[in-house]
Structure 1
Amino acid sequence: MARIHRDVSVLGSMALVALCLYCGVAGAVLNYTPGLRYDFYKNSCPRADDIVFEQMTEIFKTKPTAQDGDFGKNVAPDLLRLHFHDCFVRGCEGSVLMDKPGSEKTAPPNGRLEGFDAVDKIKAALEGECPGTVSCADLLAFAARDGVRLTGGFFYRVPAGRRDGYDSIAAEATKNLPDPRMNVDQLTLNFKNQGLTRDEMVILSGAHTIGDVACHHIDNRLYTYPGNNGVVPSLPRAFVKKLKGICPRPNLFDITVDMDQVTPIRFDSQYYKNLASKTSVLSSDQVLYDDVRTRPLVRVLESKLAFLSKFGPAMVRMGNINVLTGNQGEVRLNCRRKNSPGSA
């Protein structure tokens, strides 16, 4: 109870700091990448943002069925994850969406990626109103933002003008995407390679407040940890029992577990509170609290206002990674394949 009172007493000052940082970072990204603008589609497709949000809202409210593919509330974490996995491989240029032999989709880190049917639906709506205008890379950036908004997070403006790449290579995904067993040094280097800071790594990791992960990714927490019957000693007993109830044995690839066991479909700061109570699901999340270099920021981000204020600017920074603009790349008519010669 004492910790709760202390957190409340400093909420005002943390919120002020968060909002000031928000203003500073948001201003800095206006000219971060030449070719990206907040009003990019003002004349060519003025309803682009609205179309994406309308489609995301419709999908979000859809009760999943066999015919609907990967629709429903999972569209929020699915599209957020697609945008992240896209940007960390070749930059934010839509390569993760491509269907071809040996594409990024076939790489082990992307084995459970979903949301492709939702992308197809959104793209069809955009093509219906503005043919050959809005890139798949911009679609992902808009849809990821709207997924955050639909699950309770803050709206943030997304600059546009990205173009789509021509290729997608599995080996590049395996090389560049972070592993769920990484420590802070490894995660920091992984994000640094993309031009992102350690603080931004901690902030962007908060996306794990929604979504799930395959059970086999937590075998090292429940079944294969050296000694202690394979269980990480710091995990609370009740939490271990809960996780083993969901993941009853190791090597389960088809069963998933929510990364936030408290508010799994709400975009809030519960993720960071879970780190403080040792009830994070992934080891690569828990290390952010266990490491003294990242713990202070984790404690700040336990405030919902602080986290949500910082998350948008960090996402905008991530969305600028190695983008194609101007005459580079193309605007795919179908997000799953590059345009054929002669396509508009």
Structure 2
Amino acid sequence: MKMSSTAAVALAIGLVLGAFSGHCSSALEVGFYRGKCGRAIDVEEIVARVVKEKFFKNRTIVAALIRMQFHDCFVNGCDASILLDGSSTEKTAPPNLSVRGYDVIDAAKTAVESECRGVVSCADIIAIATREAVFWGGGGRYEVQTGRRDGFVSQASDVDLPNPSMSVSDSVAAFARKGLNASDMVHLLGGHTVGVAHCNLFQDRLYNFKSTRKPDPDMESSLLERLRLICPENSEGTNATNLDQNPQSSFIVDNSFYKEVVAHRGVLQIDQELAGDPITQAMVKTLASDTNSFSTKFGQAMVKLGAVGVLTTEKQGEIRRSCRAINNLGGVLNFN
């Protein structure tokens, strides 16, 4: 089988950079770009203006950017590899086909480049833009560490995202492989307080849970009836519903998600199992009852996620001119 040129370059670069693929977050810092573009230029403020404008046109960018950062960081680290175009890059993998927000990152990159050319990485723009989206979505403001560089490798075959039908213990293990603990997992899944899930991700819970030909007994009956109307049996599974079933809170980054799963109104299997599994049950109950702590802890978990497998040296990564392409794709690579 003939390999595409994009895949061939990604593979070749991957072999060269194999030695640099470990976790490396010590160089990240808050305010990394301060003074690097001149005293008058605030990189984070430039990104903030773009995100604010996009948010007031479309509130769903909050969920889109949270999901984008998670999908990027969970696969070979936070290196903006999900942004790269190509026939076999990460964005072509089935779990990433519905990822959105590329236009927000493109607009932020263009705005930053016009003020400070060749300095700010796309990986950092993802992190800053997501923080701003969370803030405008009501989730409070957390400090973002920056100093990442953009990766050279993006392959669909590397995408190993957790499955929404995973058990809690398997999900904990998957997060642990990325240096994230059970508490991080619970707080990051709290990102499901915004966004939607398509029927094909939970349809088995409505009709044939674990091959029983019966619905999941852990789903509250009125939710089951509602979701069956949205997702008829044997349908294609393309319809969608809010992950937070509280209609007053479906677009707000708050602790409503945890209240819903405690009430057996979780949509995804992994979300619902968080409320009943001994590993996570106590954390979920605390988050459901404490209105104020989620914003802080979610922000802390996002910062920790943002440090997974980062690239921070010139040999490890670059500052892309366009977030969608490696600078020297098709050219001669120089690692000196």
User: TM-score when scaled to structure 2?
Assistant: 0.86
1:58-137 equivalences under 5 Å are: 58-62=53-57, 72-137=58-123
| Residues 190-205 of structure 1: pairs in structure 2 closer than 5 A | 190-205=174-189
2:191 equivalent to 1:207: yes
Q: 1:187: Cα distance to partner? A: 0.4
State the secondary structure of the residue aligned to 2:204.
helix
Judge conservation of contact 2:197–2:241 (CA < 8 Å) in 1.
yes
Gaps of 5+ in 2: 1-23
Residues 68-115 of structure 1: CA deviation (Å, up to 9, x unaligned) = xxxx11111101111000001110000011101211111121121111
Is the counterpart of residue 285 in structure 1 residue 243 in structure 2? no
Matches within 5 A, 1:1-344: 33-45=25-37, 46-62=41-57, 72-173=58-159, 176-226=160-210, 229-262=213-246, 263-302=249-288, 303-327=290-314, 328-340=316-328, 341=331
Distance 1:215 1:304 in 2: 29
Q: Distance in 2 between matches of 1:298 and 1:147?
A: 24
Q: Which amino acid aligns with 1:168?
A: S
Alpha-carbon spacing, 1:253–1:114, altered in 2? closer, same or farther (3 Å): farther
Instruction: Output the CA distance in 2 between the equivalents of 1:315 and 1:121.
Output: 22
CA distances 1:176-230 after superposition (whole Å, capped 9, x unpaired): 2100000111100100000011111111110000011111101121122157753
Summarize the Cα distance change of 1:253–1:136 in structure 2 as closer, same or farther, 3 Å threshold.
farther
Greater helix fraction, Structure 1 or Structure 2: 1
SS of match in other structure, 1:257: strand
User: Normalization by structure 1: what TM-score?
Assistant: 0.84
Quote the RMSD (CA, aligned, Å).
1.7
**1:42-72 deviation line (CA, Å, top 9, x unaligned):** 012341111111111101111xxxxxxxxx1
What is the Cα deviation at residue 234 of structure 1? 2.4
Structure 1 unaligned residues grouped into runs of 5+: 1-31, 63-71
Which deviates the most, 232-241 or 251-260? Answer: 251-260
Once the two structures are TM-superposed, the CA of residue 251 in structure 1 deviates from its matched residue by 4.8
Paired residue secondary structure (2:171): helix
User: Is the Cα contact below 8 Å between 1:97 and 1:116 reproduced in 2?
Assistant: yes
| Compared CA separation, residues 77 and 192, structure 1 to 2 (3 A) | same
Paired letter, 2:149:
R
Q: Cα deviations across residues 146-204 of structure 1 (Å, max 9, x unaligned)?
A: 1111110110001100000012011111xx21000001111001000000111111111
Q: Report the identity percentage.
A: 38
CA distance in 2, matches of 1:329, 1:243: 45
Contact in 2 for aligned 1:219/1:251 (Cα 8 Å):
no
Per the alignment, do residues 43 and 227 of structure 1 end up closer, same or farther by CA in structure 2, a change over 3 Å counting? Answer: closer
SS in 1 for 2:209: coil
Q: Is the 8 A contact 2:231 2:237 kept in 1?
A: no
